[in-house]
Amino acid sequence: MSDLGTAETDAVLRLLLDGQPRTRAELIDLSGLARSTVTGRIEALLASGLVVPSGEAASTGGRPPARFRFNPTARLILAADVGATHVSVALTDLTGEILDRSTTRLNIAEGPEVVLSEVARMGRVLLRAARRSVTDLAGTGVGLPGPVEHSTGRPNHPPIMPGWDSYDVVGRLSREDLGPVLVDNDVNIMALGEHATEYAEVEHLLFVKVATGIGAGVISGGRLHRGAQGAAGDIGHIQAPGHREVCRCGNTGCLEAVASAAAVAGQLRAAGLEPSSSQDVVDLVRAGNTIATRTIRQAGREIGTVLAAAVSLLNPSVIVIGGSLSQAGDSLLAGIREAIYARSLPLATTDLRVVTARSGQDAALRGAATLVLLHAIG
C-alpha cells in the first residue's frame, strides 16, 4: 500500500489528482464513501500537505462550501533514465512535471555499483539545489536499458549490461534512503511517460522504441501491461520474415538484427557510407542521402510487418514511434505505416494512428515519475 496513506485516503486523493478543486460533498458523491470517512481523509491529507484549501464554491444559500485541491509539490520524485551511454536524473513533482534535471555521460558497462552510485549522487545534488531533503521524496523511479523482472526490479539477462544480471537494483538504491524504489525497462517507462503526458485519454497504445535495440511498451485498458514475467513488448526478438541475420541474443532473423539503429548503420557502411551511431544515420537522412533514406524506409517496413501482428493481436488505437531513429523524419514512419496498413485487417486500422513520439527525451523521465506515483496511490 501507498506510503501516502490508507486505501480510503488514496481514493480521495485520486479524485483530486487532475488538479480540479472539489468540495467535500463532491468528493463524497464521487468516491461513494461515507461523509465521516471523507472528512477524516481530507483532514489527514491536509495535515500531510498533499491537499490544500482552494477557496470556496458558489453557494445557493448559507455558508459557501470549502474546496480542496491536490498540492503536487508536497512531495517530490526522483526519476532516473539509465541508458547505454548516459544517465539522466530529474526531480519532479507528484504530477511528473520536471522541476530540474541533470545528465552525464556514463557507460552502462561500468557496472551497477558505479552507475547507481552516480544516480544517487545526482539525485542528492538536485535535492540540495531545490532546498529539499530525502524526507520529501515519495520515491525513486528508474528505467534500465534491458529486460527487468518488475516484481523484484532485477535485470534479467540484459544483453548490453555486463555485470547487471540479477543485480539487486532496488536494494542498492534503498540503501541511499531515497524512498521506495521502482525499476522497469526503459521502453515500459517511456510508454508510461508518453501515455501520461500526451495520450491520457487513450486506453490502448503501443510505444515502440527504435534505437540501439527495438522494443515496445504496451498500454492496455489504460494501464501498462507487463505480462507474466514482465517480458511483454519484446518485439525486437520476433523474427522478421525472410531474414537470417545473427542477433546479439544468439537467434537469427530477429527484428533488432534487421531494423535497429545498429543494423541500419551496418547496412549503410556496407553500402560505402560511414555512420558510426544512430545520430549519424539520422543526419544522413536529414541531409537527403538517397541510400540512407531508402534504407530507413525499408527498416520501417520490417518494423511495420512485425507490428502488423501486434495490431491484429492487441488492436491499439495509437502506435507511438520513439527512440533515436524516430528523429529521421517521415521515412521511417512511412515505411512502418505502409506495412501495417497493408498487412492488418481494415477493422483494426480504421481509426489507428501511427505517430512519432511527442515528449522526446522527457518520456523516460516522466514515465519513471509516473511509475512512482502509481505505486504511491495504489
For residues 302 and 169, state if they share a domain. Answer: no
Q: Which of 232, 244, 211 is nearest to 321 (CA)?
A: 211
CATH number for the domain harbouring residue 38: 1.10.10.10
Mean pLDDT of 28-47: 93
Q: What's the pTM?
A: 0.88
Mean pLDDT of 107-119: 97
For residues 154 and 291, state if they share a domain. Answer: no
Contact, 12 vs 41, CB < 8 A? Answer: yes
- The more confident residue out of 361 and 3 is 361
The CA-to-CA distance between both ends of the chain, in Å, stands at 6
For residues 171 and 311, state if they share a domain. Answer: no
Contact, 269 vs 174, CB < 8 A? Answer: no
For residues 165 and 239, state if they share a domain. Answer: no
In-domain check, residue 307: yes
In-domain check, residue 2: no
For residues 176 and 210, state if they share a domain. Answer: no
Domain count, the chain: 3
For residues 326 and 235, state if they share a domain. Answer: yes
For residues 170 and 232, state if they share a domain. Answer: no
Asked which of 46-60, 105-119, 270-284 is least confident by mean pLDDT, the reply is 46-60
In-domain check, residue 94: yes
In-domain check, residue 118: yes
Which sign, positive or negative, has the C-alpha torsion 270, 276, 282, 288? negative
Q: What is the pLDDT of residue 1?
A: 36
3-state secondary structure of 210: strand
CA 62 to chain centre: 48
Contact, 137 vs 177, CB < 8 A? Answer: no
The model's pLDDT over 171-188, given as tens digits with 9 standing for 90+, comes to: 999 999 999 999 999 999
Asked which of 9-18, 51-60, 156-165 is least confident by mean pLDDT, the reply is 51-60
For residues 213 and 350, state if they share a domain. Answer: yes
Between CA 215 and CA 223, with CA 220 as vertex, the angle to 5 degrees is 95
Contact, 31 vs 11, CB < 8 A? Answer: yes
For residues 48 and 94, state if they share a domain. Answer: no
Choosing from 54, 70, 86, the residue where a domain stops is 70
In-domain check, residue 246: yes
CATH number for the domain harbouring residue 179: 3.30.420.40
Long-range contacts of 44-48 (CB under 8 A, 24+ apart): 44/5, 44/9, 45/5, 45/9, 45/12, 45/13, 48/4, 48/5, 48/74
Instruction: Give the number of residues written for the chain.
Output: 378
Q: What is the pLDDT of residue 55?
A: 75
Q: What is the pLDDT of residue 160?
A: 86
In the predicted structure, residue 4 carries a pLDDT above the cut 70: no
For residues 211 and 302, state if they share a domain. Answer: yes
Q: How far apart are CA 18 and CA 196, in angstroms?
A: 12
In-domain check, residue 1: no
Strand-pairing partners, residue 77, are 92, 139
In-domain check, residue 297: yes
- Residue that is written with C-alpha cell 522478421 in the block: 240
DSSP string, 87-150: EEEEEE-TT--EEEEEEEE--GGG-HHHHHHHHHHHHHHHHHHTT--GGGEEEEEEEESS-EET
Q: For residue 47, what are the domain limits?
A: 7-70
For residues 35 and 107, state if they share a domain. Answer: no
Q: What is the pLDDT of residue 58?
A: 62
In the predicted structure, residue 3 carries a pLDDT above the cut 60: no
Q: What is the pLDDT of residue 62?
A: 61
Q: How far apart are CA 1 and CA 7, in angstroms?
A: 7
Q: Among residues of the chain, what percentage have pLDDT more than 70?
A: 96
Q: What is the pLDDT of residue 305?
A: 98
In-domain check, residue 181: yes
Cα–Cα distances in angstroms (integers) from residue 290 to residues 176, 211, 285, 287, 331, in the given order: 51, 21, 8, 9, 11
Rg (CA), the chain: 23
Q: What is the pLDDT of residue 376?
A: 82
Q: What is the pLDDT of residue 360?
A: 80
In the predicted structure, residue 7 carries a pLDDT above the cut 70: no
Choosing from 53, 70, 87, the residue where a domain stops is 70
Q: What is the pLDDT of residue 5?
A: 53
For residues 185 and 216, state if they share a domain. Answer: no
The model's pLDDT over 267-303, given as tens digits with 9 standing for 90+, comes to: 999 999 999 999 999 999 999 999 999 999 999 999 9
